[in-house]
Amino acid sequence: MSLVFLAAVIFVFISPELKNVSRETFAAETTTNSEVSEGLTCQCGCGLTVANCNMPTCGFSVPTRAAIDRMINQGMTRAQIIAFYRRQYGEKVLSAPTTEGFNILAWTMPFIALALGGGMMVLAVGRWHSNQPSAPADSNASAQPTTFDPELRRKLEKELEERR
């Protein structure tokens, strides 16, 4: 079964379309309209990027995509085109926060939170590990006869409850 699975994986990866696409993608070294328009937010109020705004008569994304084509043909880079629109419309036209000043918090906070959470988790696990009770000493066999294990009964009742 593992061999069949591996063969399926290989088949997917050597499929012609995926190879063609990856060659085209990696061959592209010039700026594309998509790359630029993904970096800009449409100002029509849809909240989507200029690349994704699909309104056929959008007053912002339609002319902007055309203007981006012209600027690319004039030899402008992605960074230059985006800087142009930033000067025109302010930071709100960028589709992601900059990495300056207060905006650094946007990028770093999720990883800080993750690191803090991870640290707390490691500490908690360490505390639970050190609280682990030692194994009880063997006791002499009781004179009492063996009775049905109450813990097993509790587990059985729990299983039954879950399957209701």
Partner 1 sequence: MPQLGKLALAIALILAAYSIVANIYGARRHLPDFVVSARHAVWAMCAMVTIAVVVLWIALLRSDFSLEYVAAYSSTTLPRVYKITSLWGGQQGSLLFWTWLLSIFTSIAAFQNRRRNPEIAPYALAVLAGVAIFFLLMLNFVTRPFDLLATIPAEGSDLNPLLQNYWMAIHPPSLYTGYVSATVPFAFGAAALISGKLDDGWIRSTRRWAIFSWFFLTLGNMFGARWAYEVLGWGGYWAWDPVENAAFMPWLVMTAYLHSVMIQERKDMLKVWNLSLIGLAFGLTLFGTFITRSGVISSVHSFTQSGLGPYFLSFLITVTLAYTALLIFRSKQLRSPAEFESYLSREAAFLFNNLMLVGIAFAVFWGTIFPVLSEAVRGVKITVGPPFFNRVNGPLALGLVFLMGIGPLIAWRRTTTSNLIRSFAAPVAIGVATGIVAAASGLRQWYVLTAFSLAAFVLGTVLVEFRRGMNARRHMVAEPRAKALVNLVAKNNRRYGGYIIHVGAIVAFVGIVGSSFFRTEVKKSVHVGDSFTIGSYTLRFQGLDQADTPHLESATARVQVLSDDGREITVMSPAKLFFKRPQQPATKVAIRSTPASDLYVVLAGIDDDGQTATFEVFLTPLVFWLWAGGLMMVLGTVIVMWPNVRERAAIATALSRSTTDAGELADAAPGGD
**Cα 122 to Cα 129: distance, rounded to the nearest angstrom:** 10
The residue from 73, 90, 100, 135 that contacts partner 1 (CB under 8 A) is 90
Which of 2/140 has CB closer to partner 1?
2
Q: Which of 99, 68, 66, 102 is nearest to 85 (CA)?
A: 68
Q: Is 106 in the site for partner 1 (CB under 8 A)?
A: yes
In the complex, minimum distance from the CB of residue 76 to partner 1, in angstroms, rounded to a whole number: 19
Helix (H, G, I), strand (E, B) or coil at 57: coil
- Report whether 49 contacts 42 (CB < 8 A): yes
Which of 32/76 has CB closer to partner 1?
32
- Report whether 93 contacts 36 (CB < 8 A): no
Site for partner 1 in 119-158 (CB under 8 A): 121, 125, 128-129, 131-133, 143-148, 152-153, 156-158
The residue from 83, 96, 104, 123 that contacts partner 1 (CB under 8 A) is 96
